[in-house]
C-alpha cells in the first residue's frame, strides 16, 4: 500500500463571504493571531508526515507562494539585529527546497475542479486534501489521526464531526457503519440532505485522504450544486468502486472563510497561547461586562 506523502491545498476560491477584506488579500493570508490561516493548515499536514505541499492557486494569490519562500533580506536583517527567536521561528516553518508546488485553477469552477487541477502534481498515489478555510484546534492533529487510520485500512478517509441534527441539511453528511481501528466504515454520503432525511449528524469537515482514481472521475464530472464541479459528487461515484472510512474528529474546527468563524478562531488561538492567554481572558471579560444590559430595577 502506498504511503500518503502529498497534500493538496485548494486556494483558488474567491472568498466572497469575506468581502471587502478579500478584495486584494487572499482569505488564506488573513492572520489568526500572528500566522496566516494557510500556515496552520500546512503545519497540520507537516505534523501528519506529509512531504510535499501542492497549492492550487488562482488570480491574486501569488502572495501565498511568497509566504512559503525564503525572504533573504528579512532573514539577514533579523540576524544582524540579534532577533534570533524570530529568525528561528521563520526557519522552523519554512518548507524545504522542492517541497512545494503551485498550479493554477484559471477559473473558479468549484472545489472538484480545483482538486482535478492537481492531478499531474499528485500522480498515481493517494493524497491528503485539506481545505484551508477550516483550521483545527485539538490535542491530536486531525490529519495525523487520519493517516494512522489510512495506514490500517487503506481506501479513502474522510474526517467528520458532529453537528446539531437540525443543521444537517447545510452539510455533506455520512452514514456510520461498523467501527474499525480509530474510525468507522462509511455506509453512505449525501450532500445537503433534505431536512429529516440525514443518515446521521456527522458532517464532512474539510479533511480527506483520497485515492488517485478520483481524478479520472472529476475529469468527466458535470456541474452540480451552485453550477460548480463538486468534489462530493465525484466521491459519490468513487464510492461505488472503493471503500470509504470516517475519522470522527472531536476537536474544534473554525471556518475561517466566514467572518464569525475567523473572529472565533482568533479568540480561541489567542486564549491557547501561554504568552497571551491571561491578557486576552481579562480583555474579553471586560468587554463582556460592558456588553451586559444594566440589571433590572426592583419595583416596590
Ligand atoms: P468555498 O466555497 O468555501 O470557498 O470553497 P470560496 O468559493 O472561496 O468561498 P465563498 O463562498 O466565495 O466565500 C472551499 C475551498 O475550496 C476552494 C476554496 O479556496 C476553499 O478553500 N475552492 C473553491 C477552489 O480552490 N476553487 C473553486 O473553484 C472553489
Report the separation in Å between the CA atom of 128 and the middle of ligand 1, taken as the mean of its atom positions. Answer: 17
Question: pLDDT tens track of the chain, all 300 residues?
Answer: 899 999 999 999 988 999 998 998 999 999 999 999 999 999 999 999 999 999 999 988 889 999 999 899 999 999 999 999 999 989 888 899 999 999 999 999 999 999 999 999 999 999 999 999 999 999 889 999 999 999 999 999 999 999 999 999 989 999 999 999 889 999 999 888 898 899 999 999 999 999 999 999 999 988 888 889 999 999 999 999 999 999 999 999 999 999 999 999 999 999 999 999 999 999 999 999 888 766 666 665
Name the CA radius of gyration of the chain, rounded.
Answer: 21
Give the residue numbers spanning the domain of 65.
6-257
Which residue's alpha carbon is nearest to atom 17 within ligand 1? 13
Q: How far apart are CA 54 and CA 8, in angstroms?
A: 5
The CATH number of the domain holding residue 163 is: 3.90.550.10
Q: What's residue 201's pLDDT?
A: 94
| Grid cell in block for residue 33 | 493571531
Whether residue 45 lies inside any domain: the answer is yes
Which residue's alpha carbon is nearest to atom 22 within ligand 1? 13
pTM: 0.93
Report the separation in Å between the CA atom of 7 and the middle of ligand 1, taken as the mean of its atom positions. Answer: 17
Q: Residues 264, 219: one domain?
A: no
Q: Residues 68, 25: one domain?
A: yes
Distances (CA, A) of 54 to 31, 41, 47, 159, 233: 21, 12, 16, 20, 22
Residue to mutate, 10, 13, 27, 132, ligand 1, most ligand atoms under 8 Å from C-beta = 13
Taking the CA of residue 113 as reference, the ligand 1 atom at the shortest distance is: 28
Report the number of distinct structural domains present in the chain. 2
Amino acid at each position: 500500500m502506498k504511503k500518503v506523502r502529498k497534500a493538496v491545498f485548494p486556494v483558488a476560491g474567491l472568498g466572497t463571504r469575506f468581502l471587502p477584506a478579500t478584495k486584494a488579500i487572499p482569505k488564506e493570508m488573513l492572520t489568526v493571531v500572528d500566522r496566516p490561516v494557510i500556515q496552520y493548515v500546512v503545519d497540520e499536514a507537516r505534523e501528519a508526515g506529509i512531504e510535499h505541499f501542492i497549492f492550487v492557486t488562482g488570480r491574486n494569490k501569488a502572495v501565498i507562494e511568497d509566504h512559503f519562500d525564503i525572504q533573504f533580506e528579512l532573514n539577514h536583517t533579523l540576524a544582524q539585529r540579534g532577533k534570533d527567536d524570530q529568525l528561528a521561528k521563520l526557519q522552523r516553518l519554512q518548507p524545504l527546497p522542492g517541497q512545494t508546488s503551485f498550479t493554477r485553477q484559471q477559473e473558479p469552477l468549484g472545489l472538484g475542479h480545483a482538486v482535478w487541477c492537481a492531478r499531474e502534481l499528485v500522480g498515481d498515489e493517494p493524497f491528503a486534501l485539506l481545505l484551508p478555510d477550516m483550521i483545527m484546534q485539538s490535542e491530536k492533529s486531525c490529519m495525523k489521526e487520519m493517516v494512522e487510520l489510512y495506514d490500517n485500512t487503506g481506501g479513502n478517509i474522510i474526517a467528520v464531526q458532529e453537528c446539531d441534527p437540525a443543521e444537517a441539511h447545510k452539510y455533506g453528511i455520512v452514514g456510520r457503519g461498523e467501527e474499525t481501528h480509530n474510525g468507522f466504515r462509511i455506509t453512505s454520503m449525501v450532500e445537503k440532505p433534505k431536512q429529516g432525511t440525514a443518515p446521521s449528524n456527522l458532517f464532512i469537515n474539510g479533511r480527506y485522504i483520497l485515492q488517485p482514481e478520483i481524478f479520472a472521475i472529476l475529469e468527466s464530472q458535470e456541474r452540480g450544486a451552485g453550477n460548480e464541479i463538486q468534489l462530493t459528487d465525484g466521491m459519490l461515484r468513487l464510492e461505488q468502486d472503493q471503500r470509504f472510512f470516517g475519522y470522527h474528529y472531536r476537536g474544534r474546527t473554525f471556518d475561517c472563510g466566514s467572518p464569525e468563524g475567523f473572529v472565533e478562531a482568533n479568540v480561541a488561538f489567542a486564549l491557547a497561547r501561554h504568552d497571551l492567554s491571561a491578557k486576552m481572558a481579562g480583555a474579553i471579560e471586560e468587554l463582556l461586562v460592558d456588553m451586559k444590559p444594566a440589571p433590572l430595577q426592583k419595583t416596590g
